[in-house]
Amino acid sequence: METEKPARRRETKDRRAEGLPSGVEGFNDRARRAVADEELHDSIELFTRKSVAGRNAVLDALPEAPELRERAYRIKQETMAHLDRHLQQMADAVEARGGNVFFAADGEDVVRYIGDLARSKGARVITKSKSMATEEIELNRRLEEDYADLGLEIVETDLGEWIAQLAGDTPSHIVGPILHMNRKRITEVLSQTAGEDLPPDVEALGSFARKRLREKFLTADIGITGANFGVAASGTVVTVTNEGNARLVTSVPPVHVVVMGIEKLVPRFEDLSVFVKLLARSGTGQELTVYTNFITGPRQTGELDGAEEFHLVLMDNGRSKLLGTDFEEALYCIRCGACLNVCPVYRQTGGHAYGSTYSGPIGAVITPLLKGHDEAKDLPHASSLCGACWEACPVGIPLHDLLLKLRNQQVEAGLAGKAQEIAFKGFESTMKRPLLYNISSKAGRLAQKPLEKNGSMRPLPGPLSGWTDSREMPPLAEKSFRELWKEGV
Partner 1 sequence: MRVALFVPCYVDLIYPEVGVSVVRLLRKLGVEVGYPEGQTCCGQPAFNSGFFDEARAVGRHFLDVFEKERFDYVVCPSGSCTTMVSHYYPFIFKDLPEERERSEGLAGRVREFSDFLVNVMGAGDLGAHLEGKAVFHCGCHQRRELGVLEEPRDLLAHVGGLDLVEWENEELCCGFGGTFAVKMPDVSTAMADEKVKALEESGADTLISCDSSCLMHLEGRLRRTGHDTRVLHLAQVLDDGKAG
Residues that bind partner 1 (CB under 8 A): 10, 12, 15, 23-24, 27-28, 31-32, 35, 344-345, 348-349, 380-388, 390-391, 401, 404, 406-411, 416, 420, 424-425, 427-428, 430-434, 437, 441, 444, 456, 463-464, 466-467, 469-477, 479-485, 489
Backbone phi and psi for residue 171, each to the nearest 5 degrees, phi listed first:
-65, 145
Nearer to partner 1, 194 or 386 (CB): 386
Q: Write down the least CB distance from residue 172 to partner 1, Å.
A: 16
Q: Write down the least CB distance from residue 181 to partner 1, Å.
A: 21
Nearer to partner 1, 294 or 427 (CB): 427
Residues, the chain = 489
Q: Write down the least CB distance from residue 419 to partner 1, Å.
A: 11
Helices and strands in the chain, H and E counts? 21, 12
The DSSP element (H or E) to which 465 belongs, if any, is helix 465-468
Of the candidates 233, 211, 237, which has an alpha carbon nearest to the alpha carbon of residue 224?
Answer: 237
State the Cα–Cα distance between residues 93 and 48, nearest whole angstrom.
Answer: 39
Q: Write down the least CB distance from residue 484 to partner 1, Å.
A: 5
- The alpha helices in 2-106, defined as continuous H runs, are 27-35, 38-60, 65-81, 83-96
Q: Write down the least CB distance from residue 184 to partner 1, Å.
A: 23
* Greatest distance between any 2 Cα atoms in the chain: 91
Q: Write down the least CB distance from residue 381 to partner 1, Å.
A: 6
Of the candidates 135, 23, 36, 20, which has an alpha carbon nearest to the alpha carbon of residue 378?
Answer: 23
Nearer to partner 1, 37 or 136 (CB): 37
Quote the distance between the C-alpha of residue 39 and its chain's center.
Answer: 21
- With contact defined as beta carbons under 8 Å apart, do 312 and 100 qualify? yes
State the Cα–Cα distance between residues 341 and 177, nearest whole angstrom.
Answer: 13
Q: Which residue type, as a one-letter code, is found at position 392?
A: A
Nearer to partner 1, 217 or 354 (CB): 354
Q: Write down the least CB distance from residue 465 to partner 1, Å.
A: 8
8-state DSSP, 5: -
Q: Which residue type, as a one-letter code, is found at position 124?
A: R
Instruction: Name 223's bridge partners.
Output: 127, 256
Nearer to partner 1, 92 or 483 (CB): 483
8-state DSSP, 66: H
Nearer to partner 1, 216 or 381 (CB): 381
Nearer to partner 1, 252 or 404 (CB): 404
Q: Write down the least CB distance from residue 170 to partner 1, Å.
A: 20
Q: Which residue type, as a one-letter code, is found at position 307?
A: A
Instruction: Name 309's bridge partners.
Output: 255
Nearer to partner 1, 107 or 337 (CB): 337
Q: Write down the least CB distance from residue 481 to partner 1, Å.
A: 4
Nearer to partner 1, 192 or 325 (CB): 325
Nearer to partner 1, 218 or 477 (CB): 477
State the Cα–Cα distance between residues 424 and 412, nearest whole angstrom.
Answer: 13
- The alpha helices in 137-233, defined as continuous H runs, are 139-146, 159-166, 183-194, 202-219
Q: Write down the least CB distance from residue 2 to partner 1, Å.
A: 17
Query: For the purposes of burial, counting CB atoms within 10 Å of the CB of 246, is it exposed (0-12), middle (13-18) or buried (19 or more)?
Result: buried
Nearer to partner 1, 192 or 456 (CB): 456
Nearer to partner 1, 44 or 274 (CB): 44
The DSSP element (H or E) to which 276 belongs, if any, is helix 271-284
Q: Write down the least CB distance from residue 74 to partner 1, Å.
A: 21
Nearer to partner 1, 273 or 429 (CB): 429
Q: Write down the least CB distance from residue 322 to partner 1, Å.
A: 18
- As a dihedral over the C-alpha atoms of residue 91, residue 93, residue 99, residue 104, rounded to 10 degrees, the angle is -10
Q: Which residue type, as a one-letter code, is found at position 166?
A: L
Of the candidates 368, 297, 377, 362, which has an alpha carbon nearest to the alpha carbon of residue 331?
Answer: 362
DSSP string, 393-450: -TT---HHHHHHHHHHHHHHTT-S-HHHHHHHHHHHHHHT-HHHHHHHHHHHHHHHGG
Instruction: Name 104's bridge partners.
Output: 315
Q: Write down the least CB distance from residue 51 to partner 1, Å.
A: 14
Of the candidates 290, 310, 132, 285, which has an alpha carbon nearest to the alpha carbon of residue 235?
Answer: 310
